[in-house]
Structure 1
């Protein structure tokens, strides 16, 4: 076809093909001729729409057509719109003057919609044709010249210049051809008689009617016209109108009268009787929709009319008389089908993104939606609405297109799925509506941390329980889904008595069960805290913490407190210590004696919990005493608990040496030889103490003016003067404590001085002098002395002024803020091998190799402090005080 076109027309077509496009109201339009070969390029749609060619594949560009059939596709590699199928304008648009093929270009990530219109231009690919290839026209011989006889119009599917332009008739002597232009644009050929017919000369005339279109090249079609010359009946029926027009509703039922046509005939008799028929070229569609009563000319509805299928019907009616020969007349009929609102609007979801992340920002496009109503006018105008209280809204676009976007915060934990109801209503009267449900799924985002069932947990564990026992189970839930809701448990690292909490307990990361790693001892550890963390598996993961308070419950695993019957008033029997996990005023603890076997014998310190005698023990007191001590905090409301203390009164003096042997043998676990050394050292100390006390007693008898306790000062004594050991006794007073200072030798010879202090209520009649000949011996003697005097308080100190470090927490070890040394022996806890290693290793805060001194405050419950003095020890004081 293209080879037959002139060069300028080919250039014009290609100019339209590549360049003719415009963008109107956000729509891109291309114009192409019909019948293009497959693979022909319509235009570079990526460039025209401002798209990046390299991103077309990733953004999943796709093309949809309302025509139902895909005639085009997009080359994602080049961004070109190409033809994929044969395009027949006449098949798509029929006789419409304008043929537009709408396309929708949908692009994801982000979601975009572009509307493209392809204008299909007509080409002269169809020839004019006649429905009747042979037509017979009967004309009476007496018909006067000038009579007109309508002929059948040729049909050409092409439009514009490519449709029928003219008619031609073969040359003859009696007829000529004229063309009558109908107001609807049709050209109706008419056969005009120029010369009278003579049936006797030529009864039949054979003519050829040719229809020619205006295309290039020209196409044509022919029909054979046979004119039979009849005798007489020289008047044909004549209609009152050449064209009858009427309107009918598309809901008209069969049998409804539409139109009444009328023709008259000047002849009389049978030559004037008229019957009405559809013209011979009437299509089957018209015959199925309409009918005509032959005697009256009434046109009635026969089938179901539909404005949306065909809004206008045109056909011809023929009126024939009954003369011989028959004469006929013709008229045109135009019936417009009036639209009624008989079609519900249609909602079309062009594209839907689901699931949607729950953290999508406001304005995120979820779906592309269009509305369609085949009715016309107001009946075809559609308005879309969303269901109320929905976190979405509709944004109108072009040509009844909408985008469904988010209009609020989405929360999958509250609504995992939204049923978005879209309602469509037209503007008809009455209006018709339709609905469509769009299911929008939400995908989970890790926006919720695990939540513990409790902010804190309280665990009560009996001491001495077997290791591996489950203490409790913590539980946390996460309202998210999938991996975001999978919770794992762990224990945050912290210290309990300077030891990692992980050495005390273990947690199952899957179910939150907490197990003990070993048994607990109430006397060493009463309470500690565990920080448990619950973490989900999201990205990034979220977590939360809970505190677990572990309280160790005391068991009766220690012997009752023993007290000698010789104890005086104020004797320290024992001390009760309570721990409160609260803080501030809520943790202030007070002690009160609630019940006692003998309330006149014992008293409890309100703040320290020390149990002391109120009076001296008598022989009449029961040997077994039971105390019920109430412990309260200072919170609101007040929380309290009680503890029972059993006390056994023993006859006779408590032998420190026996306790010494018993206590020293267990913790030290020395060999037999070390034990022997300790016994010998203790014996020597005991003898030296006895001698000292005897000397003091003699001096006291001679010179003392005090009736209770005395100390004598002697600067010179012949009995103790010798070059190697010079013993001097000096009396000193420190409040209620009386003590003597025993000085021996001079400072340069490293002779030692000893200070003995005796309380007026002291129940011991001996004292001990120690000379630490070596560091090892000194430490061992200290251990022996500590074990031998369990209820005493004593102090070893150098003559230089010492500072004491307080113990702020009832644990076995704390760090002194002044001397940077571990504080040991808090609240009378026994020394361990680890403590000994600390003493031997020293501390970065001290220099020199001088001997260690052990200081234990006289006040009960105060800590023991190890430190290294800056100068060598020149004198050693020993102070003892009975309970």
Structure 2
């Protein structure tokens, strides 16, 4: 007439990398509806605590906890349908305190009927899953007893158990096994939280004599995270910022991710600059890069390479990290006016000449080639009041091309001075410099009238001998030009 009680007692996995005085966050225990005085509810195991100085306390006056971690009921305790929750604390000489929430869940497998009252009944399926946990990447001797599902060894003599689900007979298989006779759950190999954060399966209990199913309940094994993944950079680390921008200008954002568990320090990333901090800074939490100076000059250095470090555990010394280089390109502004290569020019033009190239004026410009900041534009600001000259830009060489557009008359002027300004297509920006100008002295040569007549006569002789004879033999007034 014994009662069948199913409870969970969690055996911790002892890892060398866990924190001092470690406790699981939660512990679920399946208990009877009425817990009698002296009943051992659970056994709390600690990891890394100093055994001599460790102090265990329970925050519920209905229970006490012994030095070996056994939680004992001091009086009769009734567990309602919603269960009962209390906390257990562990503190050792290090001063660190760890807390665990203990959830008491009423058993969902029905009791045996009294002898002579007929066959066993099936229980209803519970509305919640009862979780336990394992720590990922544990490298120990397998198999490891994970849970002892039956607290009353005498009860298991009349029962056998089956289990099915993830980690058992569905992907990933071969992770867990169950002792058919005792109900002990074993972990068979290390698990990876990033691959499988939890395993869900169902435990069923059967009568050994009749094979009648006594009941079943879902069980979840949660994989506790360890910091086994270094953060990773996301996206290209290539940014652009204008030269001579003000200090505090946003350059770009470094993005990173971490495969460890969200909401933990394992994914809390701190950003730092290993190099480049003389001109740039990075926000430790957001990864936003900004400038710290207004002296960035593309004409001196057009690209800056900085080294960025990302480290989890919020940058703690034991945090995992990664580094990479980010390239910051400086975009061009028109902060350099074109400059002349000479201080002045002298040219000579014969009177009556027109549409003739007189001068090529080269210039230099430090701004980005083939952009509006580099392309030149020339203006004659003095000496061209009558429109005798014009100047254009050679698109291939960026030189100024000075032409005579209208003939000059030596009798009216035998020389003049032009003033030419070199500008850019774009306006000057971010510079106190101004457009430069250069004088061009134009000398006008007189053309002799006789030379002109002789030349004209030679042309006529070549073209028409008859006209030549008429010129020689007749009066000059015969032929009029």
State the TM-score, normalized to the length of structure 2: 0.51
Q: How does 1:28-39 map to 2 (within 5 A)?
A: none
- The aligned residue for residue 473 of structure 1 is 360
- The aligned residue for residue 405 of structure 1 is 290
Q: Which structure has more helix as a fraction of its residues?
A: 1
- The aligned residue for residue 506 of structure 1 is 389
The change in CA–CA distance for 1:373 and 1:308 in structure 2 (over 3 A counts) is farther
The answer to whether structure 1 residue 148 and structure 2 residue 63 are counterparts is no
For structure 1, the 5+ residue unaligned runs are: 1-142, 154-165, 168-176, 212-220, 223-242, 494-499, 559-883
Q: In the TM superposition, what whole-angstrom CA distance separates every residue of 1:427-454 from its partner, at most 9, and x where no partner exists? A: 57573315475x76655433322222x1
1:485 to 365, 374, 399: 374
What is the count of residue pairs matched by the alignment?
340
User: Does the aligned pair in 2 maintain the 1:248–1:335 contact within 8 Å?
Assistant: no
User: Does the aligned pair in 2 maintain the 1:265–1:274 contact within 8 Å?
Assistant: no
CA distance in 2, matches of 1:329, 1:256: 29
2:118 to 197, 203, 216: 203
User: Does the aligned pair in 1 maintain the 2:122–2:215 contact within 8 Å?
Assistant: no
CA distance in 1, matches of 2:354, 2:114: 135
Quote the offset at 1:369 in angstroms: 4.7
- The aligned residue for residue 250 of structure 1 is 137
Q: How does 1:554-633 map to 2 (within 5 A)?
A: none
Quote the offset at 1:334 in angstroms: 8.8
The change in CA–CA distance for 1:535 and 1:307 in structure 2 (over 3 A counts) is closer
The change in CA–CA distance for 1:342 and 1:434 in structure 2 (over 3 A counts) is farther
CA distance in 2, matches of 1:366, 1:197: 81
Q: How does 1:663-682 map to 2 (within 5 A)?
A: none
Q: Which has the higher contact order (CA 8 A, sep 6+)?
A: 2
The change in CA–CA distance for 1:304 and 1:522 in structure 2 (over 3 A counts) is farther
- The aligned residue for residue 284 of structure 1 is 166
The change in CA–CA distance for 1:385 and 1:551 in structure 2 (over 3 A counts) is farther
The change in CA–CA distance for 1:475 and 1:322 in structure 2 (over 3 A counts) is same
User: Does the aligned pair in 2 maintain the 1:265–1:273 contact within 8 Å?
Assistant: no
Q: In the TM superposition, what whole-angstrom CA distance separates every residue of 1:535-565 from its partner, at most 9, and x where no partner exists? A: 222246962212234567999999xxxxxxx
- The aligned residue for residue 373 of structure 1 is 258
User: Does the aligned pair in 1 maintain the 2:375–2:424 contact within 8 Å?
Assistant: yes
- The aligned residue for residue 461 of structure 1 is 348
The change in CA–CA distance for 1:298 and 1:344 in structure 2 (over 3 A counts) is same
The answer to whether structure 1 residue 184 and structure 2 residue 103 are counterparts is yes
Quote the offset at 1:290 in angstroms: 1.7
- The aligned residue for residue 433 of structure 1 is 322
CA distance in 2, matches of 1:305, 1:248: 9
1:536 to 417, 424, 441: 424
CA distance in 1, matches of 2:181, 2:348: 115
CA distance in 2, matches of 1:513, 1:349: 49
CA distance in 1, matches of 2:287, 2:3: 59
CA distance in 2, matches of 1:264, 1:245: 16
CA distance in 1, matches of 2:207, 2:181: 11
CA distance in 2, matches of 1:463, 1:545: 25
SS at the partner of 1:149?
A: coil
CA distance in 2, matches of 1:407, 1:362: 5
CA distance in 2, matches of 1:306, 1:412: 48
Quote the offset at 1:349 in angstroms: 7.1
User: Does the aligned pair in 1 maintain the 2:380–2:391 contact within 8 Å?
Assistant: no
Q: In the TM superposition, what whole-angstrom CA distance separates every residue of 1:790-829 from its partner, at most 9, and x where no partner exists? A: xxxxxxxxxxxxxxxxxxxxxxxxxxxxxxxxxxxxxxxx
The change in CA–CA distance for 1:275 and 1:302 in structure 2 (over 3 A counts) is farther
CA distance in 1, matches of 2:270, 2:244: 30
Quote the offset at 1:531 in angstroms: 1.7
CA distance in 2, matches of 1:347, 1:325: 57
The change in CA–CA distance for 1:264 and 1:188 in structure 2 (over 3 A counts) is closer
- The aligned residue for residue 604 of structure 1 is none
Q: In the TM superposition, what whole-angstrom CA distance separates every residue of 1:396-433 from its partner, at most 9, and x where no partner exists? A: 4xxx3233222233445556666666442335757331
Q: How does 1:416-427 map to 2 (within 5 A)?
A: 422-426=308-312, 427=316
- The aligned residue for residue 795 of structure 1 is none
User: Does the aligned pair in 2 maintain the 1:152–1:189 contact within 8 Å?
Assistant: no
The change in CA–CA distance for 1:514 and 1:483 in structure 2 (over 3 A counts) is same
Quote the offset at 1:363 in angstroms: 1.0
Quote the offset at 1:264 in angstroms: 10
SS at the partner of 1:191?
A: coil
CA distance in 2, matches of 1:430, 1:208: 48
After TM superposition, the structure 1 stretch with the greater mean CA deviation from structure 2, 353-362 or 402-411, is: 353-362
User: Does the aligned pair in 1 maintain the 2:6–2:151 contact within 8 Å?
Assistant: no
**Greater C-alpha Rg:** 1
CA distance in 1, matches of 2:360, 2:152: 111
The change in CA–CA distance for 1:365 and 1:518 in structure 2 (over 3 A counts) is same
User: Does the aligned pair in 1 maintain the 2:346–2:442 contact within 8 Å?
Assistant: yes
Quote the offset at 1:533 in angstroms: 0.7
Q: How does 1:777-796 map to 2 (within 5 A)?
A: none
CA distance in 2, matches of 1:304, 1:551: 94
Q: How does 1:83-162 map to 2 (within 5 A)?
A: 143=1, 147-150=2-5
Q: How does 1:834-849 map to 2 (within 5 A)?
A: none
